[in-house]
Amino acid sequence: MGNEWKLNLKDKSVAVVGLGSGGSAVVDMLWRMGADQMQGLRMTLIDPDTFYASNVTRHILRGDSVGFSKAKEMAKRYPGTTGIPGKFSTLPGKPDVIASCVDSLACESQINAYSLENKVPVVYGGVHGDAHTAEIITVVPGETPCYECYERTGELPPPSQEHYTDPNYDKTKMPSQAGLWVDVLMAASLQVQGILGVLGVRERLSPLVLMSLRPPFKYEAFNQKERCAVCSEDFSRLTV
Ligand SMILES: [Zn+2]
Protein backbone atom coordinates (compact mmCIF):
# COMPACT_ATOMS: atom_id res chain seq x y z
CA MET A 1 0.00 0.00 0.00
CA GLY A 2 1.01 3.61 -0.22
CA ASN A 3 2.94 3.99 -3.42
CA GLU A 4 1.11 1.59 -5.71
CA TRP A 5 -0.59 4.48 -7.42
CA LYS A 6 2.81 5.81 -8.42
CA LEU A 7 3.64 2.54 -10.13
CA ASN A 8 0.40 2.91 -12.06
CA LEU A 9 1.48 6.33 -13.27
CA LYS A 10 4.97 5.19 -14.21
CA ASP A 11 5.64 5.29 -17.93
CA LYS A 12 2.22 6.77 -18.61
CA SER A 13 2.18 9.75 -20.92
CA VAL A 14 0.06 12.87 -20.83
CA ALA A 15 -0.11 15.59 -23.46
CA VAL A 16 -1.11 18.95 -22.02
CA VAL A 17 -2.51 21.01 -24.87
CA GLY A 18 -2.77 24.73 -24.14
CA LEU A 19 -0.47 26.33 -21.59
CA GLY A 20 -2.53 29.26 -20.43
CA SER A 21 -3.61 29.72 -16.82
CA GLY A 22 -5.27 26.33 -16.41
CA GLY A 23 -2.76 24.39 -18.50
CA SER A 24 0.19 25.74 -16.55
CA ALA A 25 -1.41 24.74 -13.23
CA VAL A 26 -2.27 21.27 -14.55
CA VAL A 27 1.37 20.76 -15.60
CA ASP A 28 2.60 21.80 -12.16
CA MET A 29 0.28 19.37 -10.34
CA LEU A 30 0.98 16.42 -12.63
CA TRP A 31 4.73 16.97 -12.63
CA ARG A 32 4.96 17.04 -8.83
CA MET A 33 3.37 13.60 -8.57
CA GLY A 34 6.39 12.06 -10.29
CA ALA A 35 9.03 14.47 -9.03
CA ASP A 36 10.39 12.09 -6.37
CA GLN A 37 11.09 9.17 -8.66
CA MET A 38 13.53 8.49 -11.48
CA GLN A 39 10.91 8.04 -14.13
CA GLY A 40 7.48 9.47 -13.62
CA LEU A 41 4.71 10.52 -15.87
CA ARG A 42 5.96 11.48 -19.33
CA MET A 43 4.60 14.88 -20.27
CA THR A 44 4.40 16.70 -23.58
CA LEU A 45 3.52 20.38 -23.34
CA ILE A 46 2.02 22.00 -26.42
CA ASP A 47 1.26 25.67 -27.08
CA PRO A 48 2.23 27.92 -30.00
CA ASP A 49 1.94 31.16 -28.00
CA THR A 50 4.34 33.58 -26.37
CA PHE A 51 4.14 34.43 -22.67
CA TYR A 52 3.10 38.04 -22.03
CA ALA A 53 3.43 40.28 -19.00
CA SER A 54 -0.38 40.36 -18.72
CA ASN A 55 -0.32 36.58 -18.09
CA VAL A 56 1.77 36.80 -14.92
CA THR A 57 -1.15 37.36 -12.52
CA ARG A 58 -2.62 33.99 -13.47
CA HIS A 59 0.17 31.68 -14.58
CA ILE A 60 2.87 29.44 -13.14
CA LEU A 61 5.49 31.28 -15.21
CA ARG A 62 6.83 34.62 -13.97
CA GLY A 63 8.26 37.82 -15.32
CA ASP A 64 11.52 36.26 -16.47
CA SER A 65 9.58 34.24 -19.08
CA VAL A 66 7.93 37.26 -20.71
CA GLY A 67 8.59 37.35 -24.44
CA PHE A 68 9.45 33.66 -24.71
CA SER A 69 7.54 30.56 -25.84
CA LYS A 70 5.17 29.26 -23.15
CA ALA A 71 5.95 25.65 -24.13
CA LYS A 72 9.72 26.11 -23.99
CA GLU A 73 9.63 28.06 -20.75
CA MET A 74 7.37 25.50 -19.07
CA ALA A 75 9.60 22.63 -20.22
CA LYS A 76 12.60 24.46 -18.78
CA ARG A 77 10.82 24.86 -15.45
CA TYR A 78 9.69 21.21 -15.27
CA PRO A 79 12.68 18.94 -16.05
CA GLY A 80 11.83 15.80 -17.99
CA THR A 81 8.92 17.33 -19.85
CA THR A 82 9.00 18.09 -23.58
CA GLY A 83 7.87 21.52 -24.74
CA ILE A 84 6.53 21.95 -28.25
CA PRO A 85 5.86 25.52 -29.39
CA GLY A 86 3.27 24.48 -31.96
CA LYS A 87 -0.37 23.74 -32.51
CA PHE A 88 -2.13 20.52 -31.50
CA SER A 89 -1.49 19.03 -34.95
CA THR A 90 2.22 18.87 -34.07
CA LEU A 91 1.56 16.29 -31.31
CA PRO A 92 4.44 13.85 -31.85
CA GLY A 93 3.01 10.56 -30.58
CA LYS A 94 -0.05 8.94 -29.07
CA PRO A 95 -0.35 9.79 -25.36
CA ASP A 96 -2.30 7.77 -22.79
CA VAL A 97 -4.43 10.80 -22.05
CA ILE A 98 -4.76 14.37 -23.29
CA ALA A 99 -5.38 17.30 -20.97
CA SER A 100 -7.17 19.86 -23.10
CA CYS A 101 -6.63 23.33 -21.69
CA VAL A 102 -7.19 25.26 -24.91
CA ASP A 103 -9.42 28.27 -25.26
CA SER A 104 -10.85 27.78 -28.73
CA LEU A 105 -13.82 25.66 -29.70
CA ALA A 106 -12.16 24.93 -33.05
CA CYS A 107 -9.15 23.41 -31.31
CA GLU A 108 -11.37 21.47 -28.89
CA SER A 109 -13.19 19.98 -31.89
CA GLN A 110 -9.86 19.05 -33.45
CA ILE A 111 -8.77 17.32 -30.23
CA ASN A 112 -12.13 15.52 -30.06
CA ALA A 113 -11.73 14.20 -33.61
CA TYR A 114 -8.20 12.97 -32.82
CA SER A 115 -9.43 11.37 -29.60
CA LEU A 116 -12.18 9.39 -31.33
CA GLU A 117 -9.99 8.35 -34.23
CA ASN A 118 -7.07 7.23 -32.08
CA LYS A 119 -9.06 6.10 -29.03
CA VAL A 120 -7.21 8.43 -26.71
CA PRO A 121 -9.11 9.71 -23.64
CA VAL A 122 -9.29 13.46 -23.10
CA VAL A 123 -10.07 15.51 -20.02
CA TYR A 124 -11.20 18.99 -21.03
CA GLY A 125 -10.91 21.72 -18.42
CA GLY A 126 -12.09 25.28 -18.47
CA VAL A 127 -13.96 28.00 -16.69
CA HIS A 128 -17.03 29.98 -17.64
CA GLY A 129 -17.11 33.72 -18.04
CA ASP A 130 -15.48 35.38 -15.06
CA ALA A 131 -14.34 31.99 -13.76
CA HIS A 132 -17.42 31.47 -11.59
CA THR A 133 -17.90 27.89 -12.78
CA ALA A 134 -15.43 25.15 -13.66
CA GLU A 135 -16.40 22.80 -16.45
CA ILE A 136 -14.62 19.45 -16.70
CA ILE A 137 -15.55 17.03 -19.48
CA THR A 138 -14.05 13.53 -19.52
CA VAL A 139 -14.20 11.70 -22.82
CA VAL A 140 -13.24 8.04 -23.00
CA PRO A 141 -13.87 6.92 -26.59
CA GLY A 142 -16.35 4.06 -26.75
CA GLU A 143 -17.45 4.60 -23.14
CA THR A 144 -18.64 8.17 -22.70
CA PRO A 145 -20.26 10.80 -24.90
CA CYS A 146 -17.67 12.74 -26.89
CA TYR A 147 -16.95 16.44 -26.58
CA GLU A 148 -19.32 17.30 -29.42
CA CYS A 149 -22.17 15.51 -27.66
CA TYR A 150 -22.41 18.59 -25.46
CA GLU A 151 -22.42 21.03 -28.32
CA ARG A 152 -26.01 20.52 -29.41
CA THR A 153 -28.53 23.23 -28.85
CA GLY A 154 -31.47 22.25 -26.66
CA GLU A 155 -31.27 19.62 -23.90
CA LEU A 156 -28.44 21.53 -22.30
CA PRO A 157 -27.69 21.11 -18.64
CA PRO A 158 -28.33 24.08 -16.35
CA PRO A 159 -27.10 26.49 -15.00
CA SER A 160 -26.31 29.27 -17.46
CA GLN A 161 -24.35 27.84 -20.33
CA GLU A 162 -23.18 30.93 -22.16
CA HIS A 163 -20.42 28.77 -23.59
CA TYR A 164 -23.05 27.00 -25.70
CA THR A 165 -25.71 29.61 -26.23
CA ASP A 166 -23.82 32.83 -26.90
CA PRO A 167 -22.03 32.70 -30.27
CA ASN A 168 -19.88 35.68 -29.23
CA TYR A 169 -18.83 34.15 -25.93
CA ASP A 170 -15.09 34.22 -25.61
CA LYS A 171 -13.70 32.52 -22.54
CA THR A 172 -10.21 33.79 -23.28
CA LYS A 173 -11.37 37.26 -22.28
CA MET A 174 -11.22 36.81 -18.56
CA PRO A 175 -11.32 40.02 -16.57
CA SER A 176 -8.41 40.61 -14.22
CA GLN A 177 -10.60 40.08 -11.19
CA ALA A 178 -9.29 39.79 -7.67
CA GLY A 179 -8.07 36.31 -6.90
CA LEU A 180 -8.58 34.92 -10.39
CA TRP A 181 -5.59 32.59 -9.93
CA VAL A 182 -7.41 30.99 -7.00
CA ASP A 183 -10.35 30.12 -9.25
CA VAL A 184 -8.00 28.83 -11.94
CA LEU A 185 -6.28 26.54 -9.44
CA MET A 186 -9.59 25.11 -8.24
CA ALA A 187 -10.66 24.33 -11.79
CA ALA A 188 -7.24 22.88 -12.65
CA SER A 189 -7.35 20.70 -9.56
CA LEU A 190 -10.66 19.19 -10.67
CA GLN A 191 -9.22 18.60 -14.13
CA VAL A 192 -6.20 16.81 -12.66
CA GLN A 193 -8.55 14.62 -10.60
CA GLY A 194 -10.29 13.76 -13.87
CA ILE A 195 -6.95 12.86 -15.45
CA LEU A 196 -6.03 10.63 -12.49
CA GLY A 197 -9.42 8.96 -12.86
CA VAL A 198 -8.70 8.16 -16.50
CA LEU A 199 -5.24 6.83 -15.56
CA GLY A 200 -6.84 4.54 -13.01
CA VAL A 201 -5.40 5.92 -9.79
CA ARG A 202 -8.52 7.76 -8.65
CA GLU A 203 -12.23 7.36 -9.03
CA ARG A 204 -13.47 8.50 -12.43
CA LEU A 205 -15.34 11.78 -12.60
CA SER A 206 -18.73 11.93 -14.29
CA PRO A 207 -18.45 12.75 -18.01
CA LEU A 208 -19.56 16.33 -17.39
CA VAL A 209 -18.86 18.13 -14.14
CA LEU A 210 -19.87 21.70 -13.45
CA MET A 211 -18.65 23.14 -10.18
CA SER A 212 -19.39 26.58 -8.88
CA LEU A 213 -16.17 28.27 -7.78
CA ARG A 214 -18.11 30.56 -5.48
CA PRO A 215 -19.68 29.65 -2.14
CA PRO A 216 -21.45 27.32 -1.55
CA PHE A 217 -19.33 25.57 -4.23
CA LYS A 218 -22.21 23.63 -5.69
CA TYR A 219 -21.15 20.60 -7.69
CA GLU A 220 -23.21 19.15 -10.50
CA ALA A 221 -22.40 16.02 -12.43
CA PHE A 222 -24.11 15.02 -15.63
CA ASN A 223 -24.26 11.84 -17.59
CA GLN A 224 -25.27 12.56 -21.12
CA LYS A 225 -25.87 9.21 -22.76
CA GLU A 226 -27.11 10.33 -26.15
CA ARG A 227 -24.38 10.42 -28.73
CA CYS A 228 -23.82 12.93 -31.47
CA ALA A 229 -23.11 12.31 -35.14
CA VAL A 230 -19.39 12.75 -34.50
CA CYS A 231 -19.02 9.78 -32.17
CA SER A 232 -21.72 7.48 -33.50
CA GLU A 233 -23.15 6.34 -36.79
CA ASP A 234 -26.44 7.93 -35.85
CA PHE A 235 -26.91 11.02 -37.98
CA SER A 236 -30.61 11.41 -37.17
CA ARG A 237 -29.81 14.17 -34.70
CA LEU A 238 -28.09 16.31 -37.25
CA THR A 239 -30.05 19.30 -38.40
CA VAL A 240 -29.21 20.43 -41.91
ZN1 LIG B 1 -20.44 12.71 -29.61
DSSP state letters, 68-113? SBHHHHHHHHSTT-EEE-S-GGG--S--SEEEE--S-HHHHHHHHH
The whole-number average pLDDT for the span 122-147 is 91
CATH number of the CATH domain containing 116: 3.40.50.720
Q: For position 9, what pLDDT does the model report?
A: 82
Please, what's the b/e burial string for 183-195 (b: 16 or more CB within 10 A of its CB; e: otherwise)?
A: bbbbbbbbbbbbb
Distance 146 CA to ligand 1 centre (A): 4
Q: For position 95, what pLDDT does the model report?
A: 97
The gap from C-alpha 237 to its chain's centroid, in whole angstroms, comes to 27
Residue 189 maps to a domain: yes
Distance 195 CA to ligand 1 centre (A): 20
Question: Which span out of 11-15, 140-144, 188-192, 219-223 was modeled with the highest average pLDDT?
Answer: 188-192
Distance 67 CA to ligand 1 centre (A): 38
Residue 239 maps to a domain: no
Distance 209 CA to ligand 1 centre (A): 16
* φ, ψ at 182 (rounded to 5°): -60, -45
Residue 161 maps to a domain: no
**Helix and strand counts by DSSP (H, E) for the chain:** 6, 8
Confidence of residue 155 (pLDDT cuts 50, 70, 90): very low
Residue 186 maps to a domain: yes
Distance 147 CA to ligand 1 centre (A): 6
Residue 199 maps to a domain: yes
Residue 240 maps to a domain: no
Distance 196 CA to ligand 1 centre (A): 22
Question: Which span out of 42-51, 103-112, 138-147, 206-215 was modeled with the highest average pLDDT?
Answer: 42-51
Distance 12 CA to ligand 1 centre (A): 26
The whole-number average pLDDT for the span 110-131 is 93
- Tens digit of each residue's pLDDT (9 = 90 or more) over 163-195: 444 455 454 555 456 788 999 999 999 999 999
- Of 67-71, 86-90, 131-135, 220-224, the poorest mean pLDDT is in 220-224
Distance 148 CA to ligand 1 centre (A): 5
Which of residues 77 and 2 earns the better pLDDT score? 77
Confidence of residue 198 (pLDDT cuts 50, 70, 90): very high
Q: How many domains does the chain have?
A: 1
Q: For position 165, what pLDDT does the model report?
A: 46
Distance 230 CA to ligand 1 centre (A): 5
Residue 169 maps to a domain: no
**Among the listed residues 216, 193, 218, the one whose alpha carbon sits nearest the alpha carbon of residue 206:** 193
Residue 168 maps to a domain: no
Distance 34 CA to ligand 1 centre (A): 33
Confidence of residue 238 (pLDDT cuts 50, 70, 90): low
Distance 139 CA to ligand 1 centre (A): 9
Distance 220 CA to ligand 1 centre (A): 20
Q: For position 8, what pLDDT does the model report?
A: 77
- Tens digit of each residue's pLDDT (9 = 90 or more) over 74-120: 999 999 999 999 999 999 999 999 999 998 889 999 999 999 999 99
- Tens digit of each residue's pLDDT (9 = 90 or more) over 30-87: 999 877 765 678 999 999 999 999 999 899 999 999 999 999 999 999 999 999 999 9
Domain residue limits at 119:
4-148+176-222
Q: For position 151, what pLDDT does the model report?
A: 59
Distance 240 CA to ligand 1 centre (A): 17
Distance 141 CA to ligand 1 centre (A): 9
The whole-number average pLDDT for the span 3-30 is 90
